[in-house]
């Protein structure tokens, strides 16, 4: 491979001749051959949006143009540093600084790698440190992704569940607790419950976004703001808020903002709660659809692909299974973020920021896509079967409606006898109570049992 020799503060180092990154980045590539995981482009976009400084106009314009190229994605291949790197994210930050520097040099007619007239530290990194830029980029990237992807995805799923709630409202079926028969419920009420979970998930996502709007930029090395203009952080925060439409603001306490990841940990925990909700919804859907002949089969999920390589005609609830695996990943990601927040905070700096950033952003991404996929590939196409209504009259827990008239013990005896004899609650109640047929019809009306009273 053809190379060029670049220099950084540690000396000379060879880099690929056509690369936009420089010696510092190449050292990180060599030092951290850990995985194929890279920070996503949303993070890189957030990182470069903070690159504003007090520069002479010619250099400033070139830096801005180069940063915009990064934002637009045309230089994605130049971001090569592993997630498992220096804990402050300095390698990724310098990767960005070098790429922007070399692209700006190129725009000004210079030679890549010359570090002149645009220097990655003196110009691109002016007034900044990895220690305040990196946590700020986490907040900006995650905040924008929650606003632009996760919240709309949850809105889409909630709308789908609410439509099914209205569509299936008249379907009366057996409710279940402990996986045992309980009193009647409307199929539409089950969908309404799931819609309520997702609605509250939206609120939690909004809370997570609010946790991320405070950014650490301006603290530089340890929170004191050394080597930065006193108005820099406020002005950049305003610019970032204007550019993204998210109300990002400079923190009121820089010492906590860059030494701790509490906002990231809180946001991740809220994402975990959303993941748990989606897991339970997907689990309920596949349970109600289990069968089609030897299970509950009260709903039919859309058939989207063959389910077996050996059993012809078998169709599995694969969309729901996909959601449950996403939930498992998000819960695991949250454990990593929590560990990074706790174990990575050492005095004035957290030193596990890259892995926290990767896991938080991955959680947002896969929750967003799986929520939309669940809506489009599963919920939208759910159909009720005749199994639910058919089993209501045979259900034993309809005896619950008799309790206010004949008492708990008498109602329990009726249920046990109905189960032993294979008869219905109505048939046994005719024999063991003095209730008239009209009273039994009124008390055992399954529609009334789906309402308070």
Catalytically annotated residues: 178, 308
Quote the distance between the C-alpha of residue 174 and its chain's center: 33
> Which residue's entry shows tokens 């530089």?
220
At how many degrees (to 10) do helices 151-167 and 187-212 cross? 170
Query: What span, in angstroms and rounded, lies between the C-alpha atoms of 182 and 326?
Result: 31
180-186 vs 349-350, strand pairing mode: unpaired
- Sorted by sequence, the CB contacts under 8 Å of residue 342 that are 6+ apart come out as none
Query: What span, in angstroms and rounded, lies between the C-alpha atoms of 89 and 129?
Result: 10
Query: What span, in angstroms and rounded, lies between the C-alpha atoms of 252 and 250?
Result: 6
Q: Please give the full DSSP string across 41-85, using - where no structure is assigned.
A: HHHHHHHHHT------HHHHHHHHHHHHHHHHTTTGGG----SSS
Query: What span, in angstroms and rounded, lies between the C-alpha atoms of 168 and 190?
Result: 9
- Sorted by sequence, the CB contacts under 8 Å of residue 172 that are 6+ apart come out as 184, 185, 186, 187, 388, 389, 392, 446, 447, 450
Query: What span, in angstroms and rounded, lies between the C-alpha atoms of 159 and 165?
Result: 10
The tokens describing 139, both together, are 């907040």
The tokens describing 12, both together, are 């000379």
* 175-184 residues labelled b (16+ CB within 10 A) or e (exposed): bbeeeebebb
> Which residue's entry shows tokens 């060029």?
4
């Amino acid at each position: 491979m053809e190379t060029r020799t670049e220099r950084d503060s540690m000396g000379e180092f060879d880099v690929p001749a056509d690369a936009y990154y420089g010696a510092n980045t190449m050292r990180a590539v060599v030092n951290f051959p850990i995985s194929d995981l890279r920070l996503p482009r949303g993070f890189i976009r957030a990182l470069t949006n903070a690159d504003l400084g007090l520069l002479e106009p010619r250099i400033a314009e070139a830096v801005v143009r180069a940063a915009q190229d990064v934002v637009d994605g045309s230089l994605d291949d130049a971001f090569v540093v592993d997630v498992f790197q220096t804990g402050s994210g300095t390698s990724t930050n310098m990767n960005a600084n070098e790429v922007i520097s070399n692209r700006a040099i190129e725009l000004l007619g210079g030679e890549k790698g010359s570090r002149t007239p645009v220097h990655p530290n003196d110009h691109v990194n002016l007034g900044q440190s990895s220690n305040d830029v990196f946590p700020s980029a986490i907040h900006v990237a995650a905040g924008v992704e929650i606003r632009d992807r996760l919240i709309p995805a949850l809105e889409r799923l909630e709308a789908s569940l609410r439509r099914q709630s209205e569509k299936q409202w008249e379907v009366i079926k057996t409710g279940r607790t402990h996986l045992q028969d309980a009193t009647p419920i409307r199929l539409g009420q089950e969908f309404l419950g799931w819609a309520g979970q997702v609605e509250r998930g939206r609120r939690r996502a909004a809370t997570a976004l609010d946790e991320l709007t405070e950014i650490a930029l301006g603290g530089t090395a340890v929170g004191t703001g050394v080597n930065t203009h006193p108005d820099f952080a406020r002005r950049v925060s305003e610019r970032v808020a204007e550019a993204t439409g998210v109300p990002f603001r400079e923190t009121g306490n820089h010492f906590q903002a860059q030494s701790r990841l509490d906002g990231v940990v809180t946001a991740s925990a809220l994402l975990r709660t959303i993941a748990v909700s989606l897991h339970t919804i997907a689990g309920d859907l596949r349970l109600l659809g289990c069968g089609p002949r030897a299970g509950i089969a009260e709903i039919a999920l859309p058939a989207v692909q063959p389910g077996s390589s050996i059993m012809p005609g078998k169709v599995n609830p694969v969309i729901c299974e996909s959601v449950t695996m996403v939930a498992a990943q998000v819960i695991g990601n949250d454990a990593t973020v929590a560990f990074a927040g706790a174990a990575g905070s050492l005095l004035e700096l957290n030193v596990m920021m890259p892995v926290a950033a990767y896991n938080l952003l991955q959680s947002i991404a896969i929750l967003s896509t799986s929520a939309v996929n669940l809506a489009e590939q599963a919920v939208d196409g759910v159909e009720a079967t005749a199994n639910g209504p058919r089993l209501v009259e045979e259900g034993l827990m309809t005896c619950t409606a008799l309790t206010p008239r004949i008492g708990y013990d008498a109602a329990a005896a009726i249920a046990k006898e109905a189960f032993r004899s294979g008869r219905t609650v109505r048939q046994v109640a005719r024999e063991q109570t003095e209730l008239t047929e009209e009273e039994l019809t009124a008390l055992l009306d399954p529609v009334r049992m789906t309402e308070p009273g």
